[in-house]
Amino acid sequence: MEFTPLCFMLLLVTLIQSEDVLGGVSLRVSPSRSQFFKLESVSLSCEDQGSSAGGRVRRNTTEGRSSECRAGWGSLVGSSCNLKDLYTGDSGVYWCESESGEHSHADITVHDGAVILESPVLPVIEGQAVTLRCRYQTPPSDLTAAFYKDGSLVRTEAAGEMTIPAVSASDAGLYRCSNSELGESLESWLAVRGRGERSPSPQNLMSSTPQ
């Protein structure tokens, strides 16, 4: 089954660079992007300011599996969960869970293709500048990329990246990019939140979004 982020499209959490903070729980994703090529690696760091033990890294994959890091996936080093050689089945919602039940989460997509969209892994606050980039496994002779939002062309950029100077609620949506030589990326949901808004838990997120 090809992954679509429609079932994870209501990710409303705070973005502070690549860190998501909700209460005392924080999640860092490195590299800080939402899409990855097959066989790439990613590290997720979980910190809980209210506990020296930190939080637990968990995930819900598109195959319907929910588990902690090291339960057949990832290697746990301190509070970091490292995933090597990613596959499409690793696409899903990843989150930190504190001992008190607080959550901090992000949506990650793995694409078995030649083009991915480099976009914020965590939602952005209204007014921030956001840059979306078309990323290629092998650089094409022409870097020009077309960017789409909710299926409609936004604009074409010769440098392969598109900047939104100050995001607003109307900028939230499903984005993808395409290159005439290498094809197109999958879609990723760009979430935009106002200051002070809070996030639903990953469990509520999974049950409340359209399939």
Q: What is the pLDDT of residues 15-72, one digit of tens each?
A: 333 344 444 667 889 999 999 999 999 999 877 655 555 577 889 887 767 788 876 7
Domain 5-208 has CATH 3.40.1080.10: no
Residue 191, CB-side half-sphere exposure with 13 Å CA sphere: 24
Judge whether residue 194 has pLDDT over 80. Answer: yes
Residues 159-175: tens digit of each pLDDT? 999 999 999 999 999 99
As given in the structure block, the two tokens for residue 8 are: 């994870």
Do 12 and 56 form a contact (C-beta atoms < 8 A)?
no
Binned at pLDDT 50, 70 and 90, residue 130 comes out as: very high
State the average pLDDT for the chain: 80
According to the model, what pLDDT value does residue 40 have? 97
Rounded to two decimals, the pTM is 0.77
CB atoms within 10 A of CB 41: 12
Whole-number Cα distances in Å, 49 to 29, 31, 56, 152, 176 = 17, 23, 13, 42, 35
Residue with tokens 């790439």: 40
